[in-house]
Chain A
């Protein structure tokens, strides 16, 4: 992309094409012969990783759109049917939802690398600004994508974010109505978000082309921050940069696969497994982790318009960096003061992210204001002053000199710092979600057979759990996402098709109309869903003292509690994903009668140690010997609770076993591949050092 190519193919057919459309020469000059500085470190592989992630998101996204229904009544269930019924649908959905987080992790590293090494300075200003535009587009795309599953956080995230525009004086309300296509977030909003979520990635891809073009005109920056002068300073893009980027990418894929196969809901919000309900806001509205620093800035300004302006300014200010930092030295390696302030800025940004996940009250508000000031001060005060007063260290004469002089050791500590930082942000969100003042006690962590990388469901527990569900829970709770056929699915309770059919035919299902136009009842079939205890929500409320027994299909993924610092960091490594079953198990055994004396129990409620707020409308559902176990398992409440929790984990994640099994295969493959890539990279680079 840097001017007319001198490349001439030898094949006559290719020559014929090349004369008319010099595309081979373009590819050759951009991705083969293109000279890259030979001292690039692994932080430079994130550009390639980002292109890869964009590709992954577009491919998985286009596929998900083949199965998704953008309608308020069907969106939530269509996402669930992707996960449950479509071949490898669970894989595609988890790749896409976790892919968004991976994309942002990579982009933040990419941006911080640019910040540290001064990659925004002349002649790369436009390159940098194009990057800021891509980042803005990514944020918009990510936000709209998060709305599509139409869970509680989708809906309320959409409401809160679109309401930002109501802060605009005079026309704000009209703009919000325009964005919604109605008087509240509704079906038109979902439809247009789907359309735009499909469109924007291609816009991003277009701007990425410009970004790469600008990069190839200006040439890459490098850790030394001195421009290449002679041939000795550079190596051709292929094979040197390609193989290095490839190795970086495979390592990143291992990290990505860890999330997808083992902790796919670690970064997600359990509330999003509850279908959108315009009448109930979740206790703590928290955006996805990648928006948290800006969310903290928004909340720390005590004026509606001011907060919105501050939030957008926090991103826009990046575009002005080339003119705020006018120091001649690019790389912070040679700027002793700038380097320290850079790391302070990283800490400030991480702390802002952590605050964004905290409730906006007390000390958090003050801390938020201080950190917001620090954030802007870095760009508007520190960098302009530093560029005038700082004395940089001596630069190497050339890139070749730099390569000979150094062997960097900073990378490892920086990686650790980044992991800790990421952990803090995640922990922040988890704290916020559970930091209910009158929250329940923390449920004990039980041993589950399905936990860990080799976890499998205990078939006996699933079958007993199904029995408990059918005889006890199902009298009030629906299970709308399950079908009789699922009982015979691989990785499930292990019913044979005939047994599942027998269960189904015990149930009378309304069908019709027949030729006479009448509805009639017939025995259930495998394809029929589990029967509902009540015909509609109002009937359910009327029969349950005004409370609506929630659907149990996703309960084991829709419930959460605080694990606290540093537990959530360990949870990443131990693949802890069992909050839901722990909570359900504890809740079923958590009834205390009579309630503690100092607790004012509302009429019609029961005291439960683990229920948030303690006053639960569901009476103690089960007692010893209520359900007959045929396999000799003691008929105790604790066994009932554990078995039904296991069963609910399966109903929430029916492909858990397949996920972990395929995960192991993918991990083994990626690790072998990473080793091969590493040695290949060493071989290729052996000539260059």
Chain B
């Protein structure tokens, strides 16, 4: 071994590098299923399919809470006054500027559909509470208005709008 030529060296180095590289590829491939299994399984995904909600029983000024993918969704039939309040605010004064029109479906202006999870740390705000007649989060005092927009408190963002569409005037499909 004292007289190993340089050509021999190269060939040996190549072999070592190739073996090491193949081993690394194998290890990476083996880790993939170990991580991937943590994602939602097929039954969870199937259970997260869109749901339909009948709006007919919700009177003006009332709201219901439904669950979609384990998240509470507030569906609120807003009064004229509530809609007007939401639209009267200058958008630029809001912490997370967004018009009320952008948060509802056109032609269904009285219906507010929001994911009822406080954007601060995930508590469930209480509807029809707080200074803006919208939502109040009891955990850390975030206050949302009648459009679900953040007005006061530590939460950084408005309540998110889930994907939904009106199937008919009295029925929506969430998801």
Contact = CB atoms under 8 A, between A and B. Distances in A.
Contact of A687 (B1, B18, B41): B1
A97 to B, nearest CB: 16
A92 B26 contact: no
B47 interface: yes
Interface string B29-71: 1000110111101111011010000000100000000000000
Contact of A683 (B15, B22, B23, B25): B15
A63 interface: yes
A526 B49 CA distance: 9
A528 to B, nearest CB: 9
A89 interface: yes
B47 A85 contact: no
Please classify the interface of chain B as helix (H, G, I), strand (E, B), loop, or mixed, using the class held by over half of its residues.
Answer: helix
Contact of A673 (B12, B22, B36, B57): B22
Contacts, number: 68
Given A67-B37, A92-B37, 8 more contacts: A87-B36, A87-B37, A88-B37, A485-B42, A526-B46, A673-B19, A679-B15, A680-B16
B41 A527 contact: no
A683 B16 CA distance: 9
Given A59-B34, A87-B33, A92-B37, A680 B15 contact: yes
A202 interface: no
Contacts of A687: 1
A85 B26 contact: no
B41 A63 contact: no
A677 interface: yes
Contacts of B15: 676, 679-680, 683
A231 to B, nearest CB: 16
28 contacts: A59-B34, A63-B37, A66-B38, A67-B37, A67-B41, A81-B43, A84-B42, A85-B42, A85-B43, A86-B42, A87-B37, A87-B39, A87-B41, A88-B36, A89-B37, A89-B41, A92-B37, A525-B49, A527-B49, A669-B22, A672-B22, A673-B19, A677-B19, A679-B19, A680-B16, A683-B15, A686-B1, A687-B1
Interface of B: 1, 12, 15-16, 18-19, 22-23, 25-26, 29, 33-34, 36-39, 41-44, 46-47, 49, 57
B67 to A, nearest CB: 14
Contacts of A483: 43, 46
Interface string A72-101: 000000000100111111011000000000
Contact of B46 (A485, A680, A686): A485
A630 interface: no
B26 A673 contact: yes
Contacts of A672: 22
A515 interface: yes
A88 B18 CA distance: 28
A550 B15 CA distance: 57
B35 to A, nearest CB: 9
A677 B42 CA distance: 38
Contacts of B1: 686-687
Contacts of A85: 41-44
A676 B12 CA distance: 12
Contacts of A87: 33, 36-37, 39, 41
